A and B are shown apart, each in its own frame.
Chain A
Amino acid sequence: MCLWFPDWPLRRPDAPPDRPCQVATEDGIVTAADDRAAAAGVRPGMRRREAEALCPSVVTLLADPGAETVAFEPVARAVEDLVPRVEVAAPGLLFVPVAGAVRYYGGEGSLADAVVGSVADVAGPGARVAIADGPFAARMAATVADGGPLVVDDTAGFLAGLDVSVLDVGELTDTFRWLGITTLGELGALPRAAVASRFGDMGLEAHRVATGEDRSVSPRRVPEDVEAEERFDPPLADLERAAFAARSLAHELLDALVPVGGLPHRVVVEAEAVDGTVRSRTWRSADPFSEVELAERIRWQLRAWVDAGGVPGGIRRLRLLPADLSDTGRQLALGEAAVTAVETRRALSRAQGLVGPDAVLQARPQGGRDPAERVRWHRWGEDPGVPGRDPEAPWPGATPGPSPTHVPPRARALDVEWDGGFPTRVRLGSRWEPVRSWAGPWRRTGRWWEGEGTADRYQLVTSAGAFLCEVRDGETVLVGVYD
């Protein structure tokens, strides 16, 4: 069974009641749009700017999956009160196996009605509930179940009529169309061996999903001793520590799975409160969890429990268990040994624990005129995103290479003695160093319409080294050191 709230990201107090509204990620991708915005053509997956061009009056809210998870926790509990083994895929979307519960409730229809009624009590109307054989079919059925609970009796027949684009397999969709395969039924009718031979693993996966067999994709047995557990003394009560713990545990679990050679699709997060209360929630993903994705889900779940007061006194024990495994192993770089990669991750996680995630960084090139502008920092382990400025663009007026090795985060005053516009001496500490040679100025023109002034940059060479400095409003500041 699948339960889905299409408008879940929009159910937040800051959503305006009288204007079109959309929710977008930090990367500028729309994840949800209300009816008014949808009427103007806004669709999830669209770029934010494109959506704003279609609907200029739309109010854009930044996605907050953590807060959405907190709000969704009562819904998950309401379903869990009726049927056990709830699996949350995302805030607003959950799955639950109902084979046993159907008999208990006397039929699929009465079970679905009971779930809809129970959920409406805690979250209001709007839930789409569908029952089918397998999570993919149930999810697809939920998208069309806007008139009430939908029970799919003939899953293969239901899937057969769907367009191949619902498989979300990128360019393979175009290839299918080019070959005349436009529906899942046409794909499912092909011999599986032929599809596997022609399209490889991705084609095989698509064929399984098209024939409604996605539940049994990974029938691998999970080794009994593979788990990650951490005890906390003092108990974990604040979310900052919870984020660290989530990262560390996700890392530990995936490390433990390296010898097994698989990654989990479903992970059970279990927390024990100081008073002995044990909370448990299963998170699932269509693709195997990566470390970052898993840590994110754990963090959301811990936030949901802590905010709702579900773990009185804080968490004293946290445990992760894989509920199933895929055959997808970890991707290593060319020439990189598995042991080395694991040790590197462990070392950097340890460094993050000591100095904080904001001090363990990676950088990517981006366009800019100054050395500092050409660097786009991001935390290690996080998605670097898309460069805001094109590094391949010409950038006229840019400071010429080589780059300084050191750039102070804030410009520092530098004592330079000038004679007729020529620099003659530089003060380094307590001594004055004569300028041997110099180059410049390169004039940097700021955004005058925002009040930024102009500045002239110089390269100064002394016997103690070379420096990049800038003259702004008659004052000289140090911009870089060539070490």
Chain B
Amino acid sequence: MTAGIPDLVTPPRRVASGVGGLPFAAEPGRVVGLVGGLGGGLTRLGLLLLVEPSRTGMVAVVDVRGWFCPPAAWEVGIPPDRLVVVRCQDPAVWPQVTAALVEGMGATLAEVPAGVPDAALRRLGAITRARRAALVLRPTRGTLPAGLTHVRVSADDVAWEGTDAGHGRLTARRIRLRADGKGMRGMERIVEVDDDGTNVVPVVPGLAPAPAGRAAG
């Protein structure tokens, strides 16, 4: 038997519900876009957006790669019996699958495979508004068409804490996010969030408005 380091649980810094003070949420009839490469912390952010809807109904994750790991969702506060994972990598079927989920689930976090036409994504946006569902889109490659999202979030930087040259373990991370779109009143805002690995996402005070730029839609 091996001797690993003790699995100490990091005490939560603050008990918060939902997504704390984030300036955006998974709201009925709205599409939130999480744009950026794998590793930027956006999947966990998307899962945090599903926590509130999971209290009153089922939520779904559309998993394109077949890599999704449910413990990450459980750790942020989504009950296992309220989470359904749908695996679909075919860009021809993906719009139908996601549309079916939008029509029946409280909220859906959908990875978007490469090759889905912009028109299909716009139709999905229209269904989301008509059904008053919440949809969070996470493209695996590239970006989302302009005007589709209510809020578009990208990760500028992610800094992890807890590790050194062979010591410690991953504990917390600070993510620098850039949010724009109609939900941000046309302004681009930079938000820094601390994610300590539990269901806590306190927003670092002192939001800095970004230099004036064109909103996503």
Contacts and interface: CB of A to CB of B under 8 A. Distances in A.
Interface of A: 335-336, 340-341, 343-348, 350-351, 354-355, 359-365, 371-372, 374-375, 380, 395-398, 400-409, 422, 436-440, 442-445, 454, 459, 461-467, 480-483
Given A438-B164, A444-B2, 13 more contacts: A355-B87, A361-B85, A401-B9, A403-B71, A403-B75, A437-B163, A437-B164, A439-B170, A443-B2, A445-B1, A482-B170, A482-B173, A483-B43
B84 A402 contact: no
Given A365-B71, A437-B164, A347 B103 contact: yes
B113 to A, nearest CB: 13
Contact of B57 (A336, A404, A437): A336
A407 B88 contact: no
Interface range, B side = 35 or more
Interface stretch (B32-40, B118-126, B204-212): B32-40
Given A336-B56, A483-B42, A405 B68 contact: yes
Contact of B4 (A347, A360, A398, A408): A398
Given A361-B84, A364-B80, A439-B162, A481 B39 contact: yes
Query: What's the dominant secondary structure at chain A's contact region?
Result: mixed
A204 B53 CA distance: 39
B80 A401 contact: no
A480 B71 CA distance: 12
Interface in B42-57: 42-44, 47, 55-57
Of all A-B residue pairs in the complex, the 4 with the closest CB atoms, nearest first, are A465-B39, A347-B104, A402-B197, A397-B4
Contacts of B1: 396-397, 445
Contact of A464 (B4, B39, B88, B97): B39
Contact of A340 (B44, B47, B106): B106
A406 B87 CA distance: 13
A402 B170 contact: yes
A400 B106 contact: no
A333 B5 CA distance: 40
26 contacts: A335-B55, A336-B57, A344-B104, A354-B100, A355-B87, A361-B87, A396-B2, A397-B3, A400-B4, A400-B8, A401-B9, A401-B10, A402-B75, A404-B69, A406-B65, A408-B65, A437-B164, A439-B163, A439-B168, A443-B4, A462-B39, A466-B170, A466-B173, A482-B41, A483-B39, A483-B43
B203 interface: no
B83 A362 contact: yes
A341 to B, nearest CB: 8
Interface of B: 1-5, 7-10, 37-44, 47, 55-58, 60, 65-72, 74-75, 80-81, 83-88, 93, 96-97, 100-101, 103-106, 157-158, 160, 162-170, 173, 197
Nearest to A362: B84
Contact of B160 (A340, A400, A437): A437
B33 to A, nearest CB: 15
A362 B160 contact: no
B57 to A, nearest CB: 5
A338 to B, nearest CB: 12
Nearest to B111: A406
Nearest to A440: B166
A463 B169 CA distance: 17
A466 B166 CA distance: 14
A380 B88 CA distance: 15
Contacts of B197: 401-402
Given A465-B38, A483-B44, A365 B170 contact: no
B41 A483 contact: yes
A438 B40 contact: no
Nearest to A445: B2
Given A347-B100, A401-B75, A335 B56 contact: yes
A99 B109 CA distance: 58
Contacts of B80: 362-365
Contacts of B84: 348, 360-362, 380
Contacts of A344: 57-58, 104-106
Contacts of A351: 86, 97, 100-101
Contacts of B87: 355, 359-361
Contacts of B72: 402-405
Contacts of A345: 104
B7 A401 contact: yes
Nearest to B71: A403
